[in-house]
C-alpha cells in the first residue's frame, strides 16, 4: 500500500474548501475588464476595507501583484530598496529589472526587518550620477527569515524614513494575515504604513489562485492599466474571486492552528541533532549540518517515507504547515525524521 504523503513544502499546496467550490459554482460573473464582474468587485471592495485602503485590484498571483506595484510606483532607471532575502529580489525571476527596468539596492535585515536608519542612508540624494530612489519594499511575514513577523511598529520606522524623503513604500504581504493572527492585530494596522500592499489568497487561505493589490484610488487606477499590459486582464474572473471571498471571511482566524502545529513540530525537531530556528508563524527552518546530510540528501530520505519539505540552502530545510496538515501529520513527521537521522 502506498504511504500517504505529508506535504510540508509550502502553504500553496492547499486545495479549495467545500465552501469555496460551492461559491465558485454559484458565483455571479461578468466581464471584469469592463469592470462588470460583481463577484470580483465585491472581493476588491472587501479587501480594500480589510486593509484600510481606498481601492484594491484582483491579480493572478503575488508575483504579479508585486510587479504591478513596482511598475506603478517607478519608472525605468529608478532604484528600489529591498531586504536582501526578500521574495521580490530572491524569487521573482529578476522581473523588476526585466519588466520595470529598475535597479535593486538590497540591505541586510534582522529576521527580515529593515533598519530605518539604514533605509534613510540608502535613499539617494539628488545627484546626476545617481538613480532616483523611487520605492522601498518590505515583506511580512518574511519567508526566508522563517515566517518572521515584522511588527507594525517596525514597519512604521521604515515608512517614516521613506516618507521623509518622498519615497513610496510597498508591502509584499503575501502572508500578512499570518502576521496579524500571530500578534492578534488587524491587517490594516500593518497596511497603515504602506502606500501599496499585496496579499495572497492562496498562501494558507486555501483559495486556488489570486492575490490582491491595494492602495489609493489613483494608484489602483494606474495599476489596473499595468495589469492589463501584463496580460492580467481577466474576463469572468468571479469564478476565481469567489473562493477569495471565502478565504477572507472564513479562513483567516484558523491560521492560528497552523502556527500552533508549526511550533509543535519545531519543539519536537529541537530534541534531535538539528538546529531549529525561532518559529513565529507557520514556517519552520531547520539546519541539517549536524546530521551529516545536506538539505537535499535529508529531503530525499524524508521523501522515501512520504514527507515532503523544501531546501532553502545547502544545509537549510523549510517545513510549512497549512490547512491540510493535522496533529497526526506532525506526530508522524517527527517519527520519520527521528528514523531518518537514526
Cell triple for 64? 504579479
- The whole-number mean pLDDT for each consecutive block of 10 residues of the chain, a chain of 342 residues, reads 83 98 98 97 98 98 98 98 98 97 98 98 96 98 98 98 98 98 98 98 97 98 97 96 98 98 98 97 98 97 97 97 98 97 86
DSSP letter for 124, please: P
Provide the H-helix boundaries in the chain. 18-26, 38-51, 62-73, 87-90, 95, 116-122, 152-163, 176-183, 187-191, 217-229, 238-250, 255-269, 295-304, 327-341
CATH of 18-250, one of 3.40.640.10, 3.30.360.10, 3.20.20.70, 3.40.50.10470: 3.40.640.10
Nearest CA to 254 among 342, 200, 177? Answer: 177
- CA separation for the pair 320, 258 (Å, rounded): 9
* pLDDT, position 297: 98
What per-residue confidence (pLDDT) applies to 2?
57
- Partners of residue 133 on adjacent β-strands: 79
Give the per-residue pLDDT at 1: 45
Phi, psi of 134 (to 5 degrees): -110, -20
Show Cβ contacts of residue 293 under 8 Å, excluding neighbours closer than 6 positions.
Answer: 301
Is the separation of the CB atoms in 195 and 215 below 8 Å? Answer: yes
Say whether 18-250 and 6-13+254-341 share the same fold: no
pLDDT at 342: 79
Query: Domain-by-domain residue ranges, the chain?
Result: 6-13+254-341, 18-250
User: How are beta strands 6-7 and 196-200 bridged, if at all?
Assistant: unpaired
Cα distances from 179 to residues 51, 114, 184, in angstroms, run: 13, 16, 8
pLDDT score of 251? 98
Phi and psi angles of residue 15, each rounded to the nearest 5 degrees, phi first = -110, 155
Please tell me the distance from the alpha carbon of residue 183 to that of residue 180, in angstroms, as a whole number. 5
Whole-model pTM: value is 0.96
What is the CATH class of 6-13+254-341? alpha beta
Report d(CA 93, CA 272) in Å as an integer: 36
Residue 4: predicted pLDDT: 78
Amino acid at each position: 500500500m502506498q504511504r500517504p504523503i505529508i506535504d510540508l513544502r509550502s502553504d500553496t499546496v492547499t486545495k479549495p474548501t467545500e465552501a469555496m467550490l460551492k461559491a465558485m459554482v454559484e458565483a455571479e460573473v461578468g466581464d471584469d475588464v469592463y469592470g462588470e464582474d460583481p463577484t470580483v468587485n465585491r472581493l476588491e471592495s472587501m479587501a480594500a476595507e480589510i486593509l484600510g485602503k481606498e481601492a484594491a485590484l484582483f491579480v493572478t498571483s503575488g508575483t504579479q501583484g508585486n510587479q504591478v506595484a513596482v511598475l506603478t510606483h517607478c519608472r525605468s532607471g529608478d532604484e528600489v530598496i529591498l531586504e536582501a532575502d526578500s521574495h521580490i529580489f530572491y524569487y521573482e525571476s529578476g522581473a523588476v529589472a526585466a519588466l520595470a527596468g529598475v535597479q535593486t539596492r538590497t540591505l541586510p535585515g534582522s529576521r527580515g526587518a529593515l533598519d530605518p536608519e539604514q533605509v534613510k542612508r540608502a535613499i539617494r540624494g539628488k545627484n546626476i550620477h545617481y538613480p532616483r530612489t523611487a520605492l522601498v519594499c518590505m515583506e511580512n511575514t518574511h519567508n526566508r527569515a522563517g515566517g518572521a513577523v515584522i511588527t507594525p511598529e517596525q514597519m512604521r520606522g521604515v515608512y517614516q524614513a521613506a516618507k521623509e524623503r518622498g519615497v513610496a513604500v510597498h508591502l509584499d504581504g503575501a502572508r500578512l494575515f499570518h502576521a496579524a493572527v500571530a500578534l492578534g492585530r488587524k491587517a490594516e494596522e500593518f497596511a497603515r504604513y504602506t502606500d501599496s500592499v499585496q496579499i495572497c489568497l492562496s498562501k494558507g487561505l486555501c483559495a486556488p489562485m489570486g492575490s490582491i493589490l491595494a492602495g489609493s484610488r489613483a494608484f489602483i487606477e494606474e495599476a489596473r492599466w499595468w495589469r492589463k499590459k501584463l496580460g492580467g486582464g481577466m474576463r469572468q474572473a468571479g469564478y476565481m474571486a469567489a473562493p477569495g471571498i471565502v478565504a477572507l471571511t472564513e479562513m483567516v482566524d484558523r491560521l492560528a492552528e497552523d502556527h500552533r502545529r508549526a511550533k509543535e513540530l519545531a519543539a519536537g525537531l529541537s530534541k534531535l541533532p538539528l538546529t531549529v530556528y525561532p518559529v513565529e508563524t507557520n514556517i519552520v527552518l531547520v539546519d541539517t549540518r549536524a546530521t551529516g546530510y545536506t538539505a537535499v540528501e535529508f529531503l530525499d530520505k524524508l521523501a522515501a517515507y512520504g514527507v515532503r519539505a523544501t531546501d532553502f540552502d545547502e544545509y537549510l530545510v523549510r517545513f510549512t504547515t497549512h490547512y491540510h496538515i493535522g496533529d497526526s501529520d506532525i506526530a508522524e513527521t517527527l517519527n520519520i525524521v527521528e528514523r531518518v537521522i537514526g
